[in-house]
Amino acid sequence: MRLKALKINPRHANGWESPLLEFGQRTTSLFAPNGSGKTPIVQSIAFCLGMEVKFREDICDNCISATLTVELNGGDVDIERNFSDKTFVVRSAGGTWQADNEAEFSRTIFQELGMEVPSLVAASKKSTIPYVSTVLPIFFMRQDGGYLGAYTPSKTPFIQDQFVEMLRFVFGYPPKRAYDVQKSRLDQKAKLEHAQRRLVFQQQIVAKLAEDIDDSPAVAQQLRQQSLGLTQQIDELRNAADKRNSADNALVELLKVKDEQIGRLRRARAELQARVDGIDGIRSEIEGEIKTLSLNEESRRVFLRFEDICAKPDCGLFMSSQETYGKNLLYLKDQIKDLENNVQRADAQIAGYDENIRSQEAERNMLRERVRQLGAEDDSVAIIVAVQNLTRELMGVEQQLIGIEKLSAEKKKYIQFDEDRFRIQDGIASMTKTGRADLGFNQLRGELEQLTVKWMDILATPNVSRRVSIEPDFKYKFGNEYLDIFTGSGRARLVLAIHGAIFEKYLEVESRPFRFLILDTPKQHELESQDLARYLVALQQLCDKNNAQIVVSSTEYRHPIETQDKEWLPSYPFPDQLMYLGKPVQ
């Protein structure tokens, strides 16, 4: 896209217009004193391309629209934009079409320029597209606010990481935050949060069951063997010919098993009590560490005023202890809390063991009494009693086996949930942009760093480090200082150097469509004429080499023009001075 001509159109017979202002093949210069209307002329170029511009009331009252003629795909295209309703009318050899909003206009212009319009993430997290006006701040430096930063749009950015996204767009790199990818990432993050909550809940279920159930392989195998033995004994009682002997032997065997169970329970309780006693010792040691840590912190506070020891403000004598005290104290208290939780669970288990032992001892005493009384009872009663006791014991064993199976199933679910969470995390990680595209964009950053230094030297930028670095979000640093730390002439020169570097790198590829740089020069006190002249000459050499254009508007400095250039001067007479806008000639 090259600039061909500009025309301001009158609203009525006595309104204001401009002549047909033709752009130079290389340089277009506007030179006139303040108050002659240079700013509305320069702003109208950007306005026709969609930029938000606030014109003064007298302009809107006397002018109806601005028409910008550009060369597009080898043909001329007229873009007319109304000052009142901001609508666009575009005329070309292929016909005329109207755009009621900037999005529609921008989508069509980008399509004509052969630029694939990406779907980006808006500040509102919704889908949006770039506009021509969001690209323009790279190629247009307005005097009002344009020298405050490397990228200064006319209204609040509505695209996330707008400067980076626009650079990636115009240089042909894929977006940093493509909306489709970003939306999928947000969906996956929501799934990850659900998976994490589900995993924590499942962990609590497993921990609760594990408090009362020992699902170790040895215990499970022992219970299965015990269940099989009890079942066989019950079958023998039912089928044995000598019912009396069978009942007697079954009760004796059951009494033996009961004694073994009580012994196992007592051993398990003793082991658990030993663990509790050990935990009490560990807790005492940790409490001692906390007391020592607190004493150290109190000692540090005695020297809270650094001047008592070291007069340097950045001494840092107690910095390490001050930073780590809170962390260590919190860590030790968390340990005590975990130990207390373990003790509470262990106490609950010990109480369960005590209750179980009392129950088993009561059943053992009952079995002993039954064995003693067996001789006084008939065979039928003995068999019934033996079967009842064996069945009750079998049911207890089966319940324990069911608990083990349930705990095993819940553990499998926990493992499955953990695997699901890992897959989601892996999917989110795979969405992070990597590969050749980012390598190319990082290489672009490095080349722009070097070119920025070159243009700083052209502008004779004083007292600024040449160690330029560009962060991934395209914040410029000069040594250890960011761009926004500079003011006045220093910042103006740096902004000009940044735009010169970007423009030079952009023009290296002949097919890139934006072939112009519009420069509303900074005020005279911010940039001396000889430095501006040297900068413009370097830009002209760049344009000669790459078939590009520059537009320069200045009050104090009049840039010399050559045959391939154009100079726009005010031509409409007003009482005080000539103006760029005036009544149509009758």
**How far does CA 530 lie from the centroid of its chain?**
46
Closest CA to 108 of 86, 84, 91: 91
CA 583, 32, 516, 547 dihedral sign is positive
The reported pLDDT for the residue numbered 247 is 61
List per-residue pLDDT tens for the chain, 586 residues long. 999 999 999 999 889 999 999 999 999 999 998 889 899 999 999 999 999 898 999 999 999 999 999 998 889 999 999 999 999 999 988 889 999 899 999 999 998 888 888 888 888 888 888 999 999 999 998 877 878 889 988 888 888 899 999 999 999 888 887 766 655 566 667 777 888 888 888 888 888 888 878 878 888 888 888 888 888 888 877 676 455 556 666 777 777 777 877 888 888 888 878 877 877 777 777 777 777 767 766 666 665 544 455 555 555 444 445 555 566 666 667 677 777 777 777 788 888 878 888 887 888 788 777 777 765 555 566 677 777 788 888 888 888 888 888 888 888 888 888 877 776 676 566 555 444 447 888 899 999 999 999 999 999 999 999 999 999 889 999 999 999 999 888 999 999 999 999 999 999 988 899 999 999 887 655 678 888 899 999 999 999 999 999 999 988 888 899 999 999 999 999 888 899 999 987 6
Find residue 89's DSSP bridge partners.
80, 98
The reported pLDDT for the residue numbered 428 is 60
DSSP per-residue letters across 372-433: HHGGGS-HHHHHHHHHHHHHHHHHHHHHHHHHHHHHHHHHHHHHHHHHHHHHHHHHHHHTS-
The reported pLDDT for the residue numbered 436 is 45
Closest CA to 108 of 126, 138, 88: 88
The reported pLDDT for the residue numbered 435 is 44
The pTM of the full predicted model, rounded to 2 decimals, is 0.60
The reported pLDDT for the residue numbered 205 is 85
What DSSP character marks residue 509?
A: S
Find residue 21's DSSP bridge partners.
6
At CB < 8 A and 24+ separation, what contacts does 319-328 make? 321/296, 321/297, 325/293, 325/296, 325/297, 325/300, 328/293
d(CA 440, CA 446) in angstroms, rounded, equals 10
The reported pLDDT for the residue numbered 328 is 65
Range list of β-strands (E), 466-577: 468-470, 476-478, 481-482, 516-520, 549-554, 566-568, 572-573
- How many helices (H) and strands (E) in the chain? 13, 18
Letter for the amino acid at 40? P
The reported pLDDT for the residue numbered 525 is 53
3-state helix, strand, coil in the chain (%, to 5): 60, 15, 30
> Residue 65 belongs to what H/E stretch?
strand 63-72
